[in-house]
Structure 1
Amino acid sequence: MGVPHITSFCWCMGLEVGAKCVGFVHLLVSLVLMILCSVFAENLRAFVGTAEDAGDGLYSTWYKIAVTIAVVTVVHVVLALTLICSVIKRSTAGIRLWVWVMSVLMVAALVCVVVLAALHGLSGSGSDIFLSFLEGVVFFGVMAYCILCVNSYYLMLKSAEDMEGPNKSMY
């Protein structure tokens, strides 16, 4: 049994257009998150090491988290640019790299969520827990669909390459 694939993206768009849309949305979200976290970290930097931070180190902790997320989003910006360039050039290697890295990141995020929930437990009312669960299902579902779309585009390109056959040489 092989990897599942789809034949068209949302709203009857082709896989190439869908892969481009995924790349541009990934780039947009990554850039916005990188800018927001950078601004947030810069605002927190003024409070790091002050009397307000001395007791519990809350500002220092939030500063470290904001800087870490800003750095991690640089990886996502590079991934998004890789996907966009690969789709435009029809490079199967770049598209496959994006699919594998995003799949690994999605599995790592899922494992992290499950481990943190198991270690720290679930807090809040039943409706808060349900809404958090629903948000997670929607987020990971959309992410999996985007990965599936780009992987299907990769399979389509790879199939077209295989149909061309080996390079012909003139004797």
Structure 2
Amino acid sequence: MGVPHITSFCWCMGLEVGAKCVGFVHLLVSFILMILCSVFAENVRGFVGTAEDAGDGLYATWYKIAVTTAVVTVVHVLLAFTLLFSVFKRSPRGIRAWVWVMSALCAAALVCIVVLVATHGLSGSGSDIFLSFLEGLVFFGVMAYCILCVNSYYLMLKSAEDMEGPHKSVY
């Protein structure tokens, strides 16, 4: 029993088109988030170390979070470029690297959420917690589907390579 696979992307699109869509959406979202976090970090930087920040260090904390998120989104932009380049070149190695890295990042995010909930508990009303749970379920479900689509495209490329057979040598 191996990794599950699909034969087509949403709305009956092929796996190659689906992998390209995943790559373009990943690039667009990562690029926009990188710009927003960079602008936010630059705006908050002016308040770090001032009288408004002296009491609780809230602006310093926001600045650290914004800079860290901006750096992480740069990694996602590079991942999206890797996926798009690999899909256009039909390179299974780059596609497989994207699948492994995104799977690891998804698993790390889930572990981080579980650890934070276990250490700090849940806050808010019951409906807020339920809505947060639904948002997380939709986000990680869409993420898993995108990873599954790209992995299925990788499996399709690998099976096409296997069908070519061994290289023939001239005697």
Q: Tell me the C-alpha RMSD between the 2 structures.
A: 0.4
4+ runs deviating over 3 angstroms: none
Distance in 1 between residues matched to 2:54 and 2:124, nearest whole Å: 29
Distance in 1 between residues matched to 2:166 and 2:48, nearest whole Å: 62
Q: What number of residue pairs does the alignment pair up?
A: 171
Distance in 2 between residues matched to 1:45 and 1:129, nearest whole Å: 32
What is the identity percentage for the equivalent residue pairs of Structure 1 and Structure 2? 87
Distance in 2 between residues matched to 1:16 and 1:146, nearest whole Å: 12
Shift of 1:142: 0.1
1:111 aligns to 2:111 (yes or no): yes
**Partner residue of 1:146?**
146
Shift of 1:58: 0.4
Shift of 1:153: 0.1
Distance in 1 between residues matched to 2:133 and 2:46, nearest whole Å: 35
Shift of 1:73: 0.4
**Partner residue of 1:157?**
157
The 5 A counterparts of 1:61-140 are 61-140=61-140
TM-score w.r.t. length of structure 1: 0.99
TM-score w.r.t. length of structure 2: 0.99
Q: Deviations over 1:48-77 (max 9, x none)?
A: 111111111000000000000000001000
**Unpaired stretches in structure 1, ≥5 consecutive residues:** none
**Unpaired stretches in structure 2, ≥5 consecutive residues:** none
1:22 aligns to 2:22 (yes or no): yes
Shift of 1:11: 0.2
Shift of 1:131: 0.2
Q: Deviations over 1:90-115 (max 9, x none)?
A: 00000000000000000000000011
